[in-house]
Amino acid sequence: MKDTAKHQGLRNQLSAVLEQKGITDKNVLEAIKKVPRHLFLNSSFEDYAYQDKAFPIGAGQTISQPYTVAFQSQLLEVEKDHKVLEIGTGSGYQTAVLYAMGAKVFSVERQNELFKTTSLLLPKLNIRPKHLSFGDGYKGLPNYAPFDSIIVTAGAPMIPKPLMAQLKIGGRLVIPVGDDPQIMTMLIRKNETQFEKHEFGEFRFVPLLENKN
């Protein structure tokens, strides 16, 4: 579990690349500089960890491209102590970025193999989400709702209604919608029944699957 000055230098470079690509939220860029992405990857990928690329992490899943992580994180407009629900813990990298941004993170993962690995990894890195659970992301976490924002890290054919219901008024839900590629979509909850919708172009994600595995 080594994190060296060389790794830090590579993170600083990655943060600069993301800034050039249009990421403006300083809180996001600082989090990218802090989180040791190489520790979330299979060690065979370590030399490539700070390139702006996605990599396989097991169970047919991927660790998202840093630009995608930064883009979704920026859309959330995270403030300190915001309650953020993450659907698709995966490697835990996005979880760690949100945590570094000051969020109280609640995260759900449906792949038991990934859930177990990530649950062990995060405490070792001193990253302490409020709640990690093994379950069906389509259902969200109603017992912990409402949330300031919800981030979905897999492509969904439609926006799950339970997630919309678990959002605070004024809260943001960021989700890639569609088959392949997906359209990055953000809903802002205006009141009990109304949501304002924004779209941000095409991205590629693994599919959001129902039920747990």
Query: Is 43 an annotated catalytic residue?
Result: no
Q: Which of 134, 117, 137 is nearest to 125 (CA)?
A: 117
User: DSSP character for 206?
Assistant: P
Q: Which of 15, 64, 73, 91 is catalytic?
A: 64
What is the DSSP track for 34-91? Answer: HS-GGGGS-GGGGGGTTSS--EEEETTEEEPPHHHHHHHHHHHT--TT-EEEEE--TT
Other C-beta atoms within 10 Å of 144: how many? Answer: 15
User: DSSP character for 156?
Assistant: B
Q: Which two tokens stand for residue 193?
A: 């029944």
Which residues have a catalytic role annotated? Answer: 64
